[in-house]
Amino acid sequence: MAWNEPGGKGNNPKDPWGNNNRGNNNGGGNQPPDLDEVIRKLTDKVNALFGGKGGGGNNSSGGGDEGSIFGFLVVAGIVAVVLLAMNSFYTVDEQERGVVLRTGKYHSTEMPGLQFKIPVLEEVIKVNTTQVREAEIRESMLTEDENIIDAKLFIQYRVSDPVAFALRVENPEATLMSAAESALRHEVGSNAMDPILTNGRAIISGAVTVRLQSYLDRYDTGMTIVNAELKETTPPAAVKDAFDDVQRAKNDKEKIINNSEAYANSVVPEARGRAQRQLEEARAYKERVVARAQGEADRFTKLLTEYNKAPDVTRERLYIDALTSVYTNSSKVLVDVEGGNNMMYLPLDKLMQPVQAAARESGMNERDISRLTDEVLKEARARQSTNTVRREGR
């Protein structure tokens, strides 16, 4: 049988729970409670706590309505007090500072710990002052020599003044990005492309840091730059191949220059050494010649003194010394035999060549060769003497 058919559960054919009166529990124990009934009972209990009278089952008198309103107001007041108490206390972390606004105006800065605020009238903005925050920008910029490069700037910063960070600037992060881009464009536009792409990035990074900090201080943002580094600088993709060719040519140029300097550094000291050696040799030759000339002059002076004392003896001595020096440097020998009318000429240089060759082959040294030469001379003189005696006997 359907629940809405006559004879179904309950007297009301449209009531599936069989309740004729929603405020009555006589129809069964599993029906859902009526909201009006719950509010009424709660109001009666509150009125009873404050000395009022309950509203009764179906009491519709004016006293019952007034008690219900009073109870509802009391409950609402309690709930409001609890919510206000919960919103009056807050905690500031160790890394944070609390900026307190009273009626929208700055009042104080709270330190870490449990703090109290006046509900509704005061508002607290928590700002982290120890965290190192990061930001990054990448833009295409024009250099001083009218070339375009892609620059990537990495920024690290922290909040040094929570009041200025929270109240003086509407959007501190956006302000930082705009100021960083302006500082970077100024420094890139003041330098040529080559130092920006090669070894000048460190210098430009330092200049950007100083300029960006000055901008932030001027805007009173309450932020301090920890580091601003120009991480990457590249030419645009459209001209990258041509730029790479130029860079390779510059590297080759630097390589050739370095090799030339290395060669010059190795050749120039060697040439200077040879020049210095020649100068030393010339100086030594000069000193040797001068010393020899001075010795000859002193010898001549002393010889003149002796010549003045004994001219004949000195003249004969000089003659003998001169002949001795001449014959000493000659390889030819003249043998003069007493009683003879001529001298015998011996070409010792020609005679000694085969002797010296044979001596060298036999392992003779210079002393043996000299002794052999003396023996040859003696034998020649002896033969010359014998021939002379025979001629005289005839």
pTM as predicted: 0.48
Considering the domain 132-235, what is its CATH architecture? 2-Layer Sandwich (3.30)
Cα-based angle 367, 369, 373 (whole degrees, multiple of 5): 115
Residue 374: half-sphere exposure toward Cβ, Cα within 13 Å = 5
Q: What is the pLDDT of residue 323?
A: 78
Query: Quick one: tokens of 270?
Result: 């060697």
What pLDDT, on the 0 to 100 scale, is given for residue 16? 45
- pLDDT attached to residue 187: 92
What does the pLDDT profile of the chain (394 residues) look like in tens digits?
444 444 444 444 444 444 444 444 444 445 555 656 766 676 666 666 655 554 444 444 455 556 567 666 777 777 777 777 777 888 888 999 999 999 889 999 889 988 888 877 888 999 999 999 999 999 888 999 888 889 999 999 999 999 999 999 989 999 999 999 999 999 999 998 888 888 888 999 999 999 999 999 999 999 999 999 998 888 877 777 887 788 789 889 999 999 999 988 888 888 898 999 999 999 999 999 999 999 989 988 888 888 888 888 888 888 888 877 776 766 665 655 565 555 555 555 565 566 556 656 666 666 766 777 777 777 766 766 665 545 455 4
Tokens for 230? 């120009």
Q: What pLDDT is attached to residue 7?
A: 46
User: What's the pLDDT score for residue 358?
Assistant: 62
Rounded Cα gap, residues 313 and 177, in angstroms: 116
pLDDT for res 82: 73
Both tokens assigned to 338: 């007493």
Q: Is 176 within 8 Å of 208 (Cβ atoms)?
A: no
What's the pLDDT score for residue 197?
A: 83
pLDDT at 26: 43
| The three-state (H, E, C) secondary structure of the chain, written as one string | CCCCCCCCCCCCCCCCCCCCCCCCCCCCCCCCCCHHHHHHHHHHHHHHHCCCCCCCCCCCCHHHHHHHHHHHHHHHHHHHHHHHHHHHEEEECCCEEEEEEECCEEEEEECCEEEECCCCCEEEEEEECCCCEEEEEEEEEECCCCCEEEEEEEEEEEECCHHHHHHHCCCHHHHHHHHHHHHHHHHHHCCCHHHHHCCCHHHHHHHHHHHHHHHHHHHCCCEEEEEEEEEEEECCHHHHHHHHHHHHHHHHHHHHHHHHHHHHHHHHHHHHHHHHHHHHHHHHHHHHHHHHHHHHHHHHHHHHHHHHHCHHHHHHHHHHHHHHHHHHCCCCEEEECCCCCCEEEECHHHHHHHHHHHHHHHCCCHHHHHHHHHHHHHHHHHHHHHHHHHHHHC
Q: What is the pLDDT of residue 331?
A: 61
Sign (positive or negative) of CA dihedral 350, 354, 360, 364: negative
User: What was the pLDDT predicted at 360?
Assistant: 64
Question: Residue 264 burial (CB < 10 Å; 0-12/13-18/19+)?
Answer: exposed
